[in-house]
Structure 1
């Protein structure tokens, strides 16, 4: 009985801008293995702004990756206050917070309209066990998620608000570059209020910080579009070196 040939080029284009390209297409993968991977990936309907992929306390059934769009992960207190603990760009896995306990300790909320792939975790683990190299690549992606959590903790221990803001923008720039987007031209999917909650700062403090960076010629801000004009200076500020060098000509002091 004849089988329908798999369109490998279409599959490759479909995962071209997400971490599932690394998970699904390791070097040397065969047709049968690729078909199996494509079978377990569920392409969900578009997710609307504010819609949740999962809530606190939900069991871990799947991991998710946004083919486009972005998400935030939040902790919600008993009185409904949100603490933003992470942002997820296109191609970054969402839902790994439940790996330890089997239950999600946060909620994943769409910041923009997004198209999401859902990958049943048990199926992914089973396929990874049978495909050489896939398990290592899965662990690498999990490690990247852990690294972002560590970066967030590093931000929160910084005493100066200017350091937190600079470190946030510099880290975001690196992440945009990793997913194939411009590192110096960022379109922020999150609001200033979300940034403030992520950085542990007041909204007014974040707004003043962006204004100061713009007045000092480090960035240019147009709504949610941020152009990094001086990457070296942003990196210097991100690592607490604000007082190590004199301000640039034309930059305001204080």
Structure 2
């Protein structure tokens, strides 16, 4: 595993960490034990955090930036598994596995800052407290439900509906009719995350533009008709 530098944790506050489901159910002494293992890790744009098969000793929370989790096919093509945003964690599930090796690779998209936590102390805390385990299990079950909903959207809707749903999810509030979206992620990465080809992604944006639903300016997309997008999502062509 490659780090740029290991630093004492000074940026994130306990309140910031406590908002995450992994830490919300910990007692103050338990949280102090975990926080003592935290390291703030600045990662440069394009730098690998870890590669598939590396020994898994830490899980991570994204403090700033964006992390791409991906796998390589037999042909060497990258498949984006997930885009991890600020406030989200990744690799935490490996704490519960006997063979702790990262199953995917992780790379920074843009300069990013992570907080790395040692898995062993967290695992020890859970072994010592069944009540804490149950609280964490409930929180992780809710997250699993959200991920299953996302899988349903990806598998049951066609490519156009996936792109439309991406635009709708970026709305500042439910039912917003006009708003702007600016991609913080390269289009090819977004396309891979949505399981569509980059050229298909671009074609769908053009199709929505011709329909008068959006206007595209480079990385910025102006949604002109949120209600119209809702209708596309509900009944894609």
Secondary structure of the residue aligned to 1:242 is: coil
Bigger drift between 82-91 and 186-195 goes to: 186-195
Q: Deviations 1:62-118 (Å, cap 9, x if unpaired)? A: 211110111111111244210112111111111246455533221111112111011
Q: 1:191 aligned to 186, 191, 194, which one? A: 186
1:165-176 equivalences in 2 (<5 Å)? 165-171=163-169, 173=170
Given the superposition, is the C-alpha separation of residues 33 and 202 from structure 1 closer, same or farther in structure 2, using an over 3 Å criterion? closer
Secondary structure of the residue aligned to 1:58 is: coil
The 8 Å contact of residues 85 and 198 in structure 1, kept in 2 or not, is answered as yes
Q: CA deviation at 1:145?
A: 5.3
1:242 matched to 2:220? The reply is no
Secondary structure of the residue aligned to 1:122 is: helix
1:125-140 equivalences in 2 (<5 Å)? 125-128=123-126, 129-130=128-129, 136-137=135-136, 139-140=138-139
State how far apart, in whole Å, the 2-side matches of 1:230 and 1:19 are: 38
Q: Deviations 1:206-238 (Å, cap 9, x if unpaired)? A: 112122323434344333233444444333322
Q: CA deviation at 1:12?
A: 3.9
- Unmatched tracts of structure 1, length 5 or more: 1-9, 178-183, 244-254
State how far apart, in whole Å, the 1-side matches of 2:100 and 2:180 are: 38
Q: CA deviation at 1:59?
A: 2.9
Partner of 1:56: 52
1:24 matched to 2:18? The reply is no
Q: What RMSD in Å do the two structures reach over aligned CA positions?
A: 3.4
1:88-103 equivalences in 2 (<5 Å)? 88-96=84-92, 98=94, 100=97, 102-103=100-101
Q: 1:82 aligned to 78, 81, 105, which one? A: 78
Bigger drift between 200-209 and 141-150 goes to: 141-150
State how far apart, in whole Å, the 2-side matches of 1:231 and 1:132 are: 45
Q: Deviations 1:141-199 (Å, cap 9, x if unpaired)? A: 464256336514531443x321121133334x38x98xxxxxx5543232111122223
State how far apart, in whole Å, the 2-side matches of 1:97 and 1:126 are: 15
- Unmatched tracts of structure 2, length 5 or more: 1-11, 174-178
Partner of 1:118: 116
Q: CA deviation at 1:205?
A: 1.5
Secondary structure of the residue aligned to 1:40 is: coil
Secondary structure of the residue aligned to 1:80 is: coil
Residue-pair matches, total: 219
Q: 1:104 aligned to 97, 102, 118, which one? A: 102
Larger proportion of strand: 2
1:221 matched to 2:219? The reply is no
Given the superposition, is the C-alpha separation of residues 97 and 123 from structure 1 closer, same or farther in structure 2, using an over 3 Å criterion? closer
Partner of 1:38: 35
TM-score (norm 2): 0.73
State how far apart, in whole Å, the 2-side matches of 1:62 and 1:238 are: 39
